[in-house]
Structure 1
Amino acid sequence: MSHASLIEPGESHDPRESMEYDVVIVGGGPAGLSAAIRLKQLAARNSAAISVCVLEKGSEIGAHILSGAVMDPRAINELIPDWKEKGAPLDVPVTEDRFLFLTETGARAVPHWALPDNFKNEGNYVVSLANVTRWLGQQAEAAGVEIFPGFPAAEVLYNDDGSVKGVATGNMGIGKDGQPTENFQLGMELHAKYTLFCEGARGHLGRQLNEKFRLNRDSDPQVYGIGIKELWEIDPAKHQPGLVIHSAGWPLDPQTYGGSFLYHIDNNQVMVGFVVGLGYSNPYLSPFEEFQRYKTHPEIRRFLEGGKRVSYGARAITAGGLLSLPKLVFPGGALVGDDAGFLNASRIKGSHAAIKTGMLAADAAFDAVQAGRAADELTAYPESFKTSWLYTELHRARNFKQWMSKGLYLGTLMVGIEQKLFGGNVPWTLHHQHWDHEMLKPASQCKPIEYPKPDGKLTFDRLSSVFISNTNHEENQPAHLTLKDPGVPVNVNLRTYAGPEGRYCPAAVYEFVKNDDGNDRLVINAQNCVHCKTCDIKDPTQNIVWVTPEGGGGPNYAGM
């Protein structure tokens, strides 16, 4: 069918209206938009019609997109070969790579010849992935894709046989007390022959699908990092467009996985960020504070001093790689991009993988729709992935995170041997054994970390940071950070782990306060949430569940 049709509620007594599409795509990031564009390209080439819609929880396309980012153009070359002529914002080619091992006051650069290929960025571009995504959105709309920003998919819908039927958007205008307000609006059902889930790392619906269909029963546990990023305007004299700097070491201890990036983009701006693996064991560790400390290193502060911070954000990234990929398909749908975990942690790159898997999933969905099939398993998608260049790339990097989680020195040595000597083609495979939330030790076994107070020039606190992320939520709505058991934060997390949610959250959402009677309670400042998903991943009892807030809520990243 060429146009979506509006269906009045039938005899089911369900008052929600529904719309029918051939393919519904959840998430307007690089994966979802690439899938949508590819579907419309295939339809045009085959003189066929296919109806496609994209749901995006952000207030606009790109509002929730946060990445480093150095972009490998391989996938976008395949999707839109004339992207340059069409004005894609890949304007700053990488001009120089530096990799530094930091101590508290010193830095040792790795000679360029000694860098493994995964740290070389020749031919890549320093980009704002939010802006690239906005451009992809324009291409999708021009191709006839219907895009609905500000409409989060809140619920998976199923057919009677258990296959995925589509999704429903969340109800609007529910008050804090859970009751409808005068602004109440029912959610909408979107039915499809196939639904592609492209929500990014730790997708809210992807997590439910994982559990329902046991998609990760044959894979390693997925592991994550939290990436925290700031955009700075710096002194033009210090600015080198295309300079890419990565570091490892200080301020993290050698046993904690993590590292930094500092990318020079155009307009005298640099993107500076820090990634901490969420498998860390000390509950006193704060990724946000480690990032602030990192900026005080002589090698980093020299670029930033005298400059101005203009934006801030945070987002979890999947880091498990090939071995942690779940089964990608289930009756009626598929997981695409970082919703499945397609990120090459050794390269700190995922956008090319998101675009490529979006294309592969679209190919399978298009063929199925044209063949008159619906709600079966798109087996052609995982099969085509296995024969793609992306599989080869991820296979070479399959041991990276496992080695690095064994400590900086052993990890660096073994990754160097695997990548430099063998090009990743080694006869051994290492496996992840634990989920990140299992890794915290009780506070009694760990040493508190004293972090310096922010100076307001180079280092900052969480609240001033959240302010420049342009985060906003409708205040009169139920908190979208839900607790399975409201007693657990105080009785378990605070008593055993010294309240780690106050430290792993980069947005001051969680704080423990004293009641009048002297007892502790957890306050959830949900309006601060930047949708990074770290709490959903790292909470030691898995008691916190992130659900979608009212449409359009969250950060509004410009140029991130």
Structure 2
Amino acid sequence: MAEIERESMEYDIVIVGAGPAGLSAAIRLKQLDADLSVVVLEKGSEVGAHILSGAVLDPCGLDALIPDWKAKGAPLNVPVKKDNFYLLGEGGKLRIPNFPMPPLMNNHGNYIVSMGNVCRWMAEQAEELGVEIFPGMACSELVYGDNGEVKGVVAGVFGLEADGTIGPDTEPGMELHGKYVFLSEGVRGSLSKEVIAKYDLAADSDVQKFGLGMKEIWEIDPAKHKEGTVTHTSGWPLGSNAGGGSFIYHLENNQVYVGFVVHLNYKNPHLFPYMEFQRFKHHPMVADLLEGGKRIAYGARAITEGGYQSMPKMTAPGVALLGCSVGMVNVPRIKGNHNAMLSGMAAAEAAHAAIGAGRSSDELTDYETEVRTGAIGQDLKKVRNVKPMWSRWGMVASLLGGGLDMWTNTFGFSLFGTIKHGKSDAESTEQAVKHQPIDYPKPDGKLSFDRLTNVAFSFTNHEESQPAHLKLTDENIPTSVNFPDFAGPSARYCPAGVYEFIGDGADRKFQINFQNCVHCKTCDIKDPSQNITWTVPQGGDGPNYPNM
């Protein structure tokens, strides 16, 4: 598409992604200088359409950004009233008391929220300040300047032919140029991935680690609903097969968020994360809660889990990475939205100072310094060893050693230093001959559901005539390597049924049903051959999450 001539528009700051990081940056920029021109480009059909998070929100980011958020009607309506932690066996449970937990694990003062609705509200605040927000505008390319700096993005390409060529209905899109470009795409964004590779930003950081988070919204029997209750579990059904756990959050209107996270460094390629989630709901504790209720929404997305030691360099000439484009999730707290907001504010303040000094298109080093040494770095540094302990030594070691490490970090030191993660999640996948297949019960259609039925509850839609946004580096690898060596894991690790193998032997074919894609990016992360690249489809396509 590089040969196409496009119209261009000039802004002070171009922001890719209307999540908590991008919107916080936009709001903060306008708070600092109402005359700055700021644009936010969002690939979802509306702000919030692609936002999926647990979510129990630590309001510290919102407190710093909009101190009077309560008066302005922010949708933080359900304060956490009770915290529960359980270790599950197949038929039973063990309550872990709260008192041994490090103080940072306390959810007092936090809120059960729909981050999609929080972002919708934040977008309203941004627009009132004069920020231009364009939903349905996927950013498909970066625009580079003469000196190799990032100077903008290409957005709004529509109507390409199925083979990627220009057709009679093609709209070539526009170039949006900025003195600085902020990438707040969330986990494993395609432009962020390009920037990290081009400028070698991960050269001095540990490998990034990820989890797959799947979530359903249920309406349950009012007699069972306990608004403000937060429950987390570990153990069954994953056991020794994979790290991970669940969350159950009681919000308002007799609704609960039921979620399940599988760490993507699992070894057994036969593991089926989606079916682990469905099996989990048949545990007596969960089944009793959900029976008589109905599932009303479903979604999935990857989670950055590498933490402090895995954050790449965050700046390059003309560009800064925000929020989960860097990876700012506090894994034991299962929280990252507060850090995303704080990162957006820090980037905005660094860009405002730079523009005020007459600079543009250089590196915002003050932003990186603030992230690593300020509130975000302090939050993540305390818990940096929990995830690698879990990966290397298992759940029990993580609970005991990680708990001890978090306690000592409360007083400013660690007994363990900084533990390395080791292999990437793709490299962690072992050959199928080393593992036994796993027999999963068939979904019953009441508590558990097949993938395609559930995907319908993500309200996903893609224009079928466009090029597939999931690209293969080598079209032969799925059938020549991944199926014989790894039992075709893409047919299982995808939570939306995008990938399937059809036929047998020499007639076996690999099919990509990109219309099902919920933009979780798991394939880009977990494919053992690293043969799949996730890119953006045309704007507005993908899931349309209502209250995720």
Match of 1:18 in 2: 8
Question: What's the TM-score once normalised by structure 2's chain length?
Answer: 0.97
Match 1:125 to one of 96, 100, 111: 111
Report the alpha carbon displacement of residue 389 of structure 1 after superposing the two structures with TM.
1.8
For 2:330 and 2:406, how far apart are their aligned partners in 1?
13
Match of 2:86 in 1: 100
SS in 2 for 1:68: coil
SS in 1 for 2:529: coil
- 2:380 aligned with 1:418, yes or no? no
For 2:375 and 2:37, how far apart are their aligned partners in 1?
29
- Which residues of 2 match residues 342-361 of structure 1 at below 5 A? 342-361=328-347
> Deviations 1:289-345 (Å, cap 9, x if unpaired)?
000011111111111110000000000010000000000110001000000111111
- Which residues of 2 match residues 70-81 of structure 1 at below 5 A? 70-81=56-67
Report the alpha carbon displacement of residue 519 of structure 1 after superposing the two structures with TM.
1.4
Match 2:443 to one of 444, 447, 454: 454
CA contact (8 A) 1:155 1:170 kept: no
Match of 2:382 in 1: 396
Aligned length: 544
Amino acid at match of 1:98: N
> Deviations 1:352-389 (Å, cap 9, x if unpaired)?
01000000000001111121111110011011223312
For 1:33 and 1:186, how far apart are their aligned partners in 2?
26
For 1:195 and 1:63, how far apart are their aligned partners in 2?
22
Match of 1:370 in 2: 356
SS in 2 for 1:193: strand
> Deviations 1:451-495 (Å, cap 9, x if unpaired)?
000000000000001101000000101100110100000001001
Match of 1:488 in 2: 477
Report the alpha carbon displacement of residue 434 of structure 1 after superposing the two structures with TM.
1.2
Report the alpha carbon displacement of residue 411 of structure 1 after superposing the two structures with TM.
1.5
CA contact (8 A) 1:254 1:409 kept: no
Runs of 4+ in 1 over 4 A off after TM superposition: none
Match of 1:507 in 2: 496
For 2:272 and 2:3, how far apart are their aligned partners in 1?
49
CA contact (8 A) 2:140 2:155 kept: yes
Match 2:533 to one of 542, 545, 548: 545
Amino acid at match of 1:77: D
For 2:426 and 2:190, how far apart are their aligned partners in 1?
17
Amino acid at match of 1:50: L
Match 1:172 to one of 152, 158, 170: 158
SS in 2 for 1:88: coil
Report the alpha carbon displacement of residue 346 of structure 1 after superposing the two structures with TM.
1.5
Gaps of 5+ in 2: none
SS in 1 for 2:303: strand
For 1:314 and 1:214, how far apart are their aligned partners in 2?
29
Amino acid at match of 2:453: S
SS in 1 for 2:257: strand
CA contact (8 A) 1:502 1:508 kept: yes
CA contact (8 A) 2:243 2:262 kept: yes
Match 2:25 to one of 15, 35, 51: 35
Gaps of 5+ in 1: 1-11
| Percent pairwise identity | 54
Amino acid at match of 1:217: A
- Which residues of 2 match residues 142-181 of structure 1 at below 5 A? 142-181=128-167
Report the alpha carbon displacement of residue 170 of structure 1 after superposing the two structures with TM.
4.9
RMSD, matched Cα: 1.3
Distance 1:368 1:316, change over 3 A: same
> Deviations 1:132-168 (Å, cap 9, x if unpaired)?
0100111111110001101111111111110111111
For 1:226 and 1:444, how far apart are their aligned partners in 2?
24
Report the alpha carbon displacement of residue 14 of structure 1 after superposing the two structures with TM.
4.8
Amino acid at match of 1:279: N
CA contact (8 A) 2:219 2:295 kept: yes
Distance 1:13 1:121, change over 3 A: closer
Amino acid at match of 2:522: T
CA contact (8 A) 2:156 2:171 kept: no
For 1:246 and 1:303, how far apart are their aligned partners in 2?
14
Report the alpha carbon displacement of residue 400 of structure 1 after superposing the two structures with TM.
1.1
Match 1:386 to one of 372, 392, 411: 372
SS in 1 for 2:298: strand
Report the alpha carbon displacement of residue 420 of structure 1 after superposing the two structures with TM.
3.4
